[in-house]
Amino acid sequence: MGAEVVVEGLTKSFGSQAIWRDVTLTLPPGEVSVMLGPSGTGKSVFLKSMIGLLKPDRGRCVVNGVDIVTCSEAELYEVRKLFGVLFQDGALFGSMNLYDNVAFPLREHTRKSEAEIKRVVMDKLELTGLQGAERKLPGEISGGMRKRAGLARALVLDPEIILCDEPDSGLDPVRTAYLSQLLIDLNAQIDATILIVTHNINLARTVPDNLGMLFRKELVMFGPREVLLTSDEPVVEQFLNGRRLGPIGMSEEKDAAQIAQEEAHAAAGHSDGSSEEDLRGIVPQLEPTPGLPERQAVRRRKDRVMQVLHALPTAAQDGIIASLTHEDRLRYGLTAPSPRPAHDDTQEIPAWPGGRP
């Protein structure tokens, strides 16, 4: 199972420019998490701070009991071996073919023989659907294949934590859907902790177990996907629906006068060019490809979320309860709704142990 990552009060600035401050969250082990946020909110900086490529100003980031903010270089070197990173552009060496690109970390950081390296590399290329392309150069393949090659390279050291920096960047919606499925399939097979930084709404709605959002130099929220997907927080609602009306502006943040002007414009019936459909709400989460094992994260997540269910917003509670199977309800002590006559179209509220929180 992947490692847990505990972030407490993490703050980062460049000179006098604050990037984000007091970020606190926990990446549950073996689960898939997504961090959303408008462009320029420091999502990529957050990833680089998590692996020690950038040093935060203050706070803690604890991985397997080691705080990477204060640890020694030797400790940091060892902790980094737990991470696999898929960079935004794939970060492949243009002069190396895919085989040598994927083999590079093994040759640099292990003493494996070339025969062992070949076995591992071919396994990861097959895992990412690149078997047969190992002799191609990065310039000879599509952007989607380069992303998958970058992911294969991130996997060769069998990381416990996989960080993906905008994996959908430069990809069309179809390739993004394939990559999303690949990440879920990987989690099913290797049970790694995965954090994806993106501003792709469809990916964020369908892939993660947990969802967070950075805005105005702060973490707006982070937790079970149902919390953010049902949130009425203005910045979350605006971002999920891709609308101009809301706190996010072209330069990230609007002033009160601009927001008031846009609200008056909308009240007068003028469209902002976005869909009238409200995309808030919980959609089914991607499942592993048939034939692959079930994701172990699903059961762990349900156990964890049910323990804190009473503390979640009502809309999130409803979404979580609606997703439970009959077996889940019995497991967690919930009374299954009694059957209704076919003509009865009233909606039954699930029973709760001790009453609804």
What's 220's domain CATH number? 3.40.50.300
Q: In the prediction, which pLDDT does 243 show?
A: 84
For residues 155 and 35, what is the distance between their CA atoms, to the nearest angstrom? 21
CA dihedral 91, 96, 102, 106 (to 10 degrees): -110
Give ∠ CA 3-285-351 in degrees, rounded to 5.
Answer: 100
96 backbone dihedrals φ, ψ, rounded to 5°: -105, 145
Domain contains 339: no
User: pLDDT (tens digit, 9 = 90+) per residue, 297-356?
Assistant: 999 999 999 999 999 999 999 999 998 989 999 999 887 554 444 444 444 433 333 343
Q: In the prediction, which pLDDT does 245 show?
A: 78
CA dihedral 128, 132, 138, 142 (to 10 degrees): -70
| DSSP H or E stretch at residue 25 | strand 17-27
Query: For residue 225, what are the domain limits?
Result: 5-229
| CA dihedral over 173, 30, 214, 152, signed as positive or negative | negative
Two structure tokens written together for 220: 């707006």
Domain contains 139: yes
Domain contains 182: yes
Domain contains 18: yes
Domain contains 105: yes
Coil, helix or strand for 6? strand
Tell me what percent of the chain is helix, strand and coil, each rounded to the nearest 5: 40, 20, 45
For residues 84 and 291, what is the distance between their CA atoms, to the nearest angstrom? 25
Two structure tokens written together for 104: 């590079």
User: pLDDT (tens digit, 9 = 90+) per residue, 232-257?
Assistant: 999 998 888 888 878 887 655 555 55
Query: How many domains, in total, are found in the chain?
Result: 1
Domain contains 194: yes
Domain contains 127: yes
Q: In the prediction, which pLDDT does 250 show?
A: 63
Domain contains 153: yes
CB neighbour list of residue 67: distance below 8 Å, 6 or more residues apart: 60, 61
Contacts 24+ apart (CB under 8 A), 289-292: 289/181, 289/185, 292/185, 292/188, 292/189
Q: In the prediction, which pLDDT does 276 show?
A: 56
Beta pairing partners, 14: 17
Per-10-residue mean pLDDT of the chain, 357 residues long, equals 94 92 96 91 90 93 94 93 85 92 93 95 92 93 89 93 91 89 94 94 94 93 94 90 81 53 53 58 92 94 93 92 91 67 42 38
